Amino acid sequence: MPKLGAIFILFLFLLTVCLASARQETAEQAGSSVPRPEHPRPQFFRDSWLNLNGEWSFAFDFGVSGKQQGFQNSTRFDKTIIVPFCPESKLSGVEHKDFINALWYQRDITIPESWKGKKIILHFGAVDYASEAFIDGRSAGKHWGGTSSFDFDITDLVKPGSIHNLVVSAYDDVRSRVQPAGKQCPDYNSRGCHYTRTTGIWQTVWLEAVSPYGLKSCHIIPDVDQKKLSITPVFYKIKEGSKLRITVKQNGKAVKQENFAASQGSPCSVTIKNPQLWSPENPFLYDIILEVLDRDGKVLDTVKSYAGMRKIHTHSNQIYLNNKPIYLRLVLDQGFYPEGIWTAPSDEALKNDILLSKKAGFNGARLHQKVFEERFHYWADRLGYLTWGESSSWGIDVTSGEAARNFLTEWENIVTRDRNHPSIIAWTPFNETWSGGEKLEQLLTEAYDLAKNLDPTRPVNDASGGIHIKTDLWTEHTYQQDPEKLRILLTPSEKQSIWTRNPEQNAPYQGQPYLIDEYGGIKWIPSAQQQHSKDSWGYGEDPPTLEEFYTRLEALTDVILSLDHICGFCYTQLTDIEQEQNGIYNYDRTEKFDMDRINKIISKERIKIKN
């Protein structure tokens, strides 16, 4: 009998091991099938997190009556959707193209037992536009802003080791004129330079466990001239006697470690001896470990981050990177994808867009009418790619007080979230503002001031190609397709030191760096591709042959390169987007042209054109 007992115990042990192995394998398989599984904040990383992407149940709420119907208490909706892809997209599994006033999402969440005693934070990369989260029917918080990241502390609403019901509502009205919409079309069908809309969750949703005394955020400012990193922490709560330990690593080896008394918003200055500077040619990044220690030296919280030692500033009419003049060869990148719309199908797709741009000869991008997710900025940091951060300002009535309030709140969140990325070298709150009188002047001024107060280290371009009121950069757009006419237009004369489209509405030009940050936009559809629609378009008349496309592109670019007062350009655009078929690449990212030839045109040294 004892032998039988031992055999039975051995059998139970082996069965337990097999079941555990099966559970682990199932978990790994499930993990591998989760869309966009990578950590969404690589510049503020903790080990204790759970990705909530994947299949959720959902319901449309066209009457915006879901809350009155008790949708917040629902444990299952009739339809399913793949998060983080919007319901208009193919990757969501829904593809509903008509207007969606509101919708609701639901899924169960399991809080790990090991998270007991931790703060539990529910994160959203972005939800367009107004959202509210519910845990077991109780509100966890509300947020307004379609492109800004946010989180809710759900510690008091959940219990570690338990399963809870998560419901999220989203309200979106791109036709309201009080919310930023970017290039989302206010009409049923895409037209002109407006494309398919994005509603609801469109970036990663995730859970994170953090010490009650952990870091909430950290502002990192590189100081190239003084060879220092300034790190300003914000804590959820400070335990008496606790410290912040900062370790800076170079190629995996610690080159600096210092302890600072934990203090809210108090900058910690770390000297970097013989720093390697970040640049497109050498995108070197220092790894940073941030640890909160109690008075006995016990580690309460650990965050992994990184920083690039680089300086961007303007002087006279020139932009400087690390105290050396730099000529910007940017491409307009609107960040749309055929199957995901505003959401990249994969992390690799974000990286690939940068590689495609660099292959074409560009050293950066003007990120246009969309706030790009942090993973894109991560790859730009890693690959040495210069970008201008822009909001999705189109769609608002600039004379509306409600619209202005909504815009400035979201703009503050945008700048605060992304200001640690070395690849971002300028902020652009608005694009092509044409009218609005004193209300517009006030809004442009306030958006400029807000960005400068949050981040005085970068230039701010108040309105790309529009009315300039208060700006560090002077930018103009022209799609003149005749090279000679373009040369005449842009050449300074006794009557004008620079060409500007709105001379009577602009503030006086004060010698800021002058850039043509939209030009070209030449339509070309390869024979292997099809016209997207009967309304497919580009700027000017279509070149009749491929060779004439190259000739026009080179001639227009040569004009800009030949003018000494211009310190950079931005070509429209990186890829086709639906009916706007004027990209360097097709919408599916396949090549249109001989990219070596494109590269030689875009990366030319500055030249002189003989009169």
State residue 11's pLDDT score: 41
Query: Residue written as tokens 């610690």?
Result: 254
* CA atoms of 278 and 309, how far apart (whole Å): 5
H or E element that contains 354: helix 347-359
* CA atoms of 449 and 471, how far apart (whole Å): 10
pLDDT value at 31 more than 70: no
Return the higher-pLDDT residue of 4 and 573: 573
Strand order in the sheet with 138-144: 79-83, 54-60, 102-110, 163-171, 130-135, 138-144
Tokens of 214: 């952990």
Q: pLDDT band at residue 32, thresholds of 50, 70 and 90?
A: low
Q: Mean per-residue pLDDT for 163-173?
A: 98
Query: Residue written as tokens 């009557």?
Result: 495
State residue 15's pLDDT score: 38
Burial of 373 (0-12, 13-18, 19+ CB in 10 A): buried
Measured N-to-C along each axis, helices 483-490 and 546-562 cross at an angle, to the nearest 10 degrees, of 20
Percent of the chain at pLDDT > 70 equals: 94
Q: pLDDT band at residue 22, thresholds of 50, 70 and 90?
A: very low
Map residue 375 onto helix, strand or coil.
helix
Residue 142: count other Cβ atoms within 10 Å of its Cβ: 12
DSSP 155: G
Q: pLDDT band at residue 608, thresholds of 50, 70 and 90?
A: low
Lowest mean pLDDT segment, chosen from 140-149, 506-515, 530-539: 530-539
* CA atoms of 86 and 132, how far apart (whole Å): 17
Query: Residue written as tokens 């919408």?
Result: 587
Biggest distance spanned by C-alpha atoms of the chain: 109
Q: Decide if 465 contacts 506 (C-beta within 8 A).
A: no
Q: Decide if 342 contacts 202 (C-beta within 8 A).
A: yes
Give one DSSP letter per residue of 454-512, joined into a string: H-TTS-B-SEETS--SS-SSEEEE-----HHHHHHHHS--SS-SS--S-TTTSPPP-S-
Map residue 443 onto helix, strand or coil.
helix
Q: pLDDT band at residue 534, thresholds of 50, 70 and 90?
A: confident
3-state helix, strand, coil in the chain (%, to 5): 20, 30, 45
Map residue 553 onto helix, strand or coil.
helix
Domains by residue range for the chain, with CATH? 33-210 (2.60.120.260), 225-307 (2.60.40.10), 312-602 (3.20.20.80)
Q: Decide if 254 contacts 273 (C-beta within 8 A).
A: no
Q: Decide if 141 contacts 132 (C-beta within 8 A).
A: yes
Lowest mean pLDDT segment, chosen from 131-140, 428-437, 478-487: 428-437
State residue 495's pLDDT score: 87
Q: Decide if 350 contacts 376 (C-beta within 8 A).
A: yes
CA-to-CA separations, 257 to 260, 270, 291, in angstroms, rounded: 10, 8, 11
* CA atoms of 29 and 33, how far apart (whole Å): 6
In 3D, which of 217, 211, 236 has the Cα closest to residue 119? 211
pLDDT value at 335 more than 60: yes
* CA atoms of 452 and 247, how far apart (whole Å): 29
Q: Mean per-residue pLDDT for 163-176?
A: 98
Residue 223, beta-bridge partner list:
228
What are 579-606's pLDDT values in tens digits? Answer: 999 999 999 999 999 999 999 999 999 8
3-state secondary structure 57-125: EEEECCCCCCCCCCHHHCCCCCEEEEECCCCCCCCCCCCCCCCCCEEEEEEEEECCHHHCCCEEEEEEC
Upstream peptide bond of 129 is cis (omega within 30 degrees of 0): yes
Tokens of 417: 């979230």
What are 293-319's pLDDT values in tens digits? Answer: 999 999 999 999 999 999 999 998 999
